[in-house]
Chains A and B, each alone.
Chain A
Amino acid sequence: MSTTESVPPDAETITAAQVRHVAKLARLALSEPELETMRVQLSRILGHVASLDALDVADVPPTSHAVPLDAALREDVVRDSLPRRELLAAAPATEAGAFAVPKVLEGDA
């Protein structure tokens, strides 16, 4: 539980092309300087994360939730939903009682 772990010299690094690809996957339009800062910072963080390679976890099951969970079942009953007017009040754009969004599909479909 030491608080002074340093980044190993052979830190996992991430390339400019990888950062650009990840930004695209994450739908973040980052500027060139932001991409470069991100590359340096992510490399450093991933370098620290690489310390997990020292663990032998071949026979260890993964934990997705710390507290064991059963499937949560409930009666299938009809309940009121929130009023449409209130939900649409927070939308950036609405039209005819619906969310107005940029065109998703090309053509007239």
Chain B
Amino acid sequence: MSAAEITGLGVVALAEKVQRGELRAVEVAQAFLDRIAHLDAGVGAFLHVDGEGALAHAAGVDRLAPEARRALPLAGVPVAIKDNLCTRGVPTTCASKILAGWVPPYDAHAVERLRAAGATLVGKTNMDEFAMGSSNENSAFWPVRNPWDRTRAPGGSSGGSAAATAAAFAAASLGSDTGGSVRQPGAFCGVAAIKPTYGRISRYGLIAFASSLDQIGPFARTTRDAARVLGVIAGHDPRDATSVAREVPDYEAECGQPLAGMRIGVVREALGEGVEPAVRAAIEAALEVYRALGCAIVDVALPHAHHAVATYYLIAPAECSSNLARFDGMRFGLRSPGADLAETYGRTRAEGFGPEVKRRIMLGTYALSAGYYDAFYVKAQKARTLIARDYDAAFATCDAVLTPTSPTVAFALGEKTSDPLAMYLADIFTLPPSLAGLPAANVACGFSPEGLPIGLQLVTRAFDEPGLVRLADGYERASGFAGRRPADPAKGKG
């Protein structure tokens, strides 16, 4: 099998071939590493490629007895990891100068699970600094280019992970999603992306941004492939007190199951003003596909969803301002010495953090400061209750709520960097399910006239990842949009 054929395979196909001994894990790892070496300079998806570690782990998989290898659900499958997930012995920076060169002494829970399942971890992916952003332009190192059009943003904050999967630098990747950071780059890069229910995956070793919202989620070129990865990383972990002790169902078994009788809820306002015509047309066509598959399409209302941007941009910065207090230059990362302790703190943080991180720390500190706590933070928490109740009401009449993932296709690099609020407002569809803690997925559902991917978002009840996978996979099989790949970028710097 040629290297090009190997890197064209998805998660399930690669695992099967390595399990059966038809491909060696080392040969698979080398094919993907070569592809990264030749082509990533034009995309910028990786901050660190761990060739040595990847080949050593793959060799270990190859040395296993055949029956032990067959038991590994991700045998030899190359996976890329967002750079806010700790990887033992491999640099982890959150794309921030404050953590440049930091090498964690432990693995995140999700990373441990991937290694134990036989996955080959090829490297750490670029992101918006500390996962704050929607375009990946907030990386302190370099922006990621969208593999479908390298003048466009890949989305964010998990832009490197989404681009790595779209460009077949890995068969799958992990991102983290606080307000849409897995789903929106999934939509911009045309790949399947799942944000599970809050608590479904342990956050141990995920460097915290907003602790009541952060969730890890997988990217792959199809939902079935993403479901395989989700099954590996989901489950209880006592090291994360918010991790839920609940059985992990067989997500992959939902793939190929009939959708007849399932009810899709549509929010009419989500197809109105502000949504790009090509996106609206693709969503309407997708509803026809669901109808043809035997689903009922019902109208639902989310009357408080338009408050999600205001709610989120109080809660997330408040939590971020508290979480990022730990970056003080004392125990790890950058230290910029001043005349005394306070000056050292101030200089370290001013030099180490980029503009968006500073903006959110400032916003959060303000919202939590004396005299403003009730007016801003508590009020936002109450609005959060109303947004969550909207979904409870909607799920009385439907099994999933369908909206666009993003109101637009991938925007141009540089287009929104001067206006933070405009960037925040583009998160309108991904924020409500995040605030409600619900599982949500991006599914590729078409292309704009200029050839850019369009994604639809499905949201289901808490812990109904099985329903989410069934609906996403069923649509993919019927529509044929998933798994399409962009042309290879030209070699060299873009």
- A contact residues vs B (CB 8 Å cutoff): 1-5, 7, 14, 18-19, 21-23, 25-31, 34, 38, 41-42, 44-46, 48-52, 55, 57, 60-67, 69, 72, 74, 82-83, 86-87, 89-93, 99, 101-104
**Once the chains bind, are B350 and A30 in contact (CB under 8 Å)?**
yes
The smallest C-beta distance from B74 to any residue of chain A, in angstroms, reads 26
**Once the chains bind, are B343 and A29 in contact (CB under 8 Å)?**
yes
**Once the chains bind, are A3 and B273 in contact (CB under 8 Å)?**
yes
B429 in the interface, Cβ–Cβ < 8 Å?
yes
Interface-forming stretch among B58-66, B165-173, B287-295, B301-309? B301-309
Residue of B nearest to A44 (CB): B421
**Once the chains bind, are B347 and A29 in contact (CB under 8 Å)?**
yes
**Once the chains bind, are A14 and B238 in contact (CB under 8 Å)?**
no
Q: With contacts A21-B369, A55-B304, A92-B334 known, what are 5 further pairs, Cβ within 8 A?
A: A27-B342, A38-B362, A45-B424, A61-B382, A63-B381
**Once the chains bind, are B314 and A49 in contact (CB under 8 Å)?**
yes
| Inter-chain contacts of A52 with B (CB < 8 A) | 307, 310-311, 314, 379-380, 383
| Inter-chain contacts of A29 with B (CB < 8 A) | 338, 343, 346-347, 349-350
B359 in the interface, Cβ–Cβ < 8 Å?
yes
| Inter-chain contacts of B269 with A (CB < 8 A) | 1-2
The smallest C-beta distance from A63 to any residue of chain B, in angstroms, reads 4
**Once the chains bind, are B384 and A66 in contact (CB under 8 Å)?**
yes
Residue of A nearest to B408 (CB): A3
**Once the chains bind, are B436 and A26 in contact (CB under 8 Å)?**
no
The smallest C-beta distance from B84 to any residue of chain A, in angstroms, reads 16
Q: Residue A7 contacts which of B102, B421, B429 (CB distance < 8 angstroms)?
A: B421
**Once the chains bind, are A23 and B381 in contact (CB under 8 Å)?**
no
Residue of A nearest to B385 (CB): A63
Question: Taking chain A's interface residues, is the majority helix, strand, or loop, or is none over half, making it mixed?
Answer: loop
Interface-forming stretch among B6-14, B323-331, B484-492? B323-331
Q: Which B residues, 80 to 124, have Cβ-Cβ distances below 8 Å to chain A?
A: 102-106
| Inter-chain contacts of A103 with B (CB < 8 A) | 340-341
- B contact residues vs A (CB 8 Å cutoff): 102-106, 197-199, 212, 238, 241-242, 244, 267, 269-270, 272-275, 302, 304-307, 309-311, 313-314, 321, 325, 328-335, 337-338, 340-347, 349-350, 353, 358-359, 361-363, 365-366, 369, 376, 378-386, 388, 403, 407, 420-421, 424-426, 428-429, 432, 435-438, 462
The contact sample of 9 A-B pairs, CB cut-off 8 A, is A1-B305, A19-B362, A28-B361, A42-B366, A46-B366, A52-B383, A66-B384, A66-B388, A89-B105
The smallest C-beta distance from B355 to any residue of chain A, in angstroms, reads 8
| Inter-chain contacts of B349 with A (CB < 8 A) | 26-29
Q: Residue B331 contacts which of A22, A46, A91 (CB distance < 8 angstroms)?
A: A91
| Inter-chain contacts of A14 with B (CB < 8 A) | 366
**Once the chains bind, are A2 and B386 in contact (CB under 8 Å)?**
no
| Inter-chain contacts of A50 with B (CB < 8 A) | 310
**Known pairs A52-B307, A55-B307, A92-B333; A23 contacts B212 (CB<8 A):** no
**Once the chains bind, are B305 and A55 in contact (CB under 8 Å)?**
no
User: Whole-angstrom distance between the alpha carbons of A67 and B215 in the complex?
Assistant: 12
Q: Residue A57 contacts which of B106, B325, B342, B386 (CB distance < 8 angstroms)?
A: B386
Q: Residue B359 contacts which of A42, A62, A66 (CB distance < 8 angstroms)?
A: A42
Residue of B nearest to A99 (CB): B331
Q: Residue B341 contacts which of A3, A93, A104 (CB distance < 8 angstroms)?
A: A104
| Inter-chain contacts of B376 with A (CB < 8 A) | 49
| Inter-chain contacts of B302 with A (CB < 8 A) | 1
| Inter-chain contacts of B104 with A (CB < 8 A) | 90
Q: Residue A62 contacts which of B325, B385, B421 (CB distance < 8 angstroms)?
A: B385
**Once the chains bind, are A82 and B273 in contact (CB under 8 Å)?**
no
The smallest C-beta distance from A79 to any residue of chain B, in angstroms, reads 10
| Inter-chain contacts of B407 with A (CB < 8 A) | 3
**Once the chains bind, are B275 and A3 in contact (CB under 8 Å)?**
yes
Residue of A nearest to B241 (CB): A72
